[in-house]
Structure 1
Amino acid sequence: MKIVDRISDFLDDQRRKKHKKIRERNDKLRAKGKNPTKKGWGSMVNTGTGSMNQDRITRIYDAAQQQKNISEEHEIKERRSGEVKRK
C-alpha cells in the first residue's frame, strides 16, 4: 500500500501546484482589470440533427459553415470593441 499512497500523494501535490499556478495567473490578470475566465462556448449552431433524412455530408457542411460564420462575426465584434489586437 505504500506505493499506492506515494503515487496518490504525488498526484495530489501536482494538482495543488497546478491550481496554485492558475490562481496566481488569475490574480495577475484581475490586477490588470481583465477577466480571467470565459463563460461558455459562445453561440452554438443548430446542426439539424432532428431531420435525419437529409444527406449527412450536406448537414455537416452546413453546420460547419454556420459555425464559421458565427466565429467571423464574433471576431469582427471583438475588433470593433478593441478587445483583441489584429494579427
Structure 2
Amino acid sequence: MSPVAARLPLVALALFGLAAVSLGAALLCFAGLGALLHPALSDPMAGLAFLVSAIALAGTGAFPLVFARLARRDAGPQPPPGA
C-alpha cells in the first residue's frame, strides 16, 4: 500500500476540523463563556446544540474513512478468475 493511498480523504479532514471547532464552542458555552462569541450563546443550552453538532460532524466524517478503507481493501490482490 502506497503512502498516497493511505492518506485521509480531504472531506473527512474538513468534517473532523469542523467538529473540533464545534466542540470548542460547546466547551466555551458550558464554561459560561459563550457570550464572548455571541450574545445569543450566553444560554448554557447553546453548548448542547454545539455538542450534538460536533458529534454529528464527526460521525459524518467517519463515512469517507470507511469508504476509503473499503476501496483500498477491494483494490488489493484479487484472486484469479475462476479460482
TM-score (norm 1): 0.37
Q: Which has the larger radius of gyration?
A: 1
The structure carrying a bigger helix percent of its residues is 2
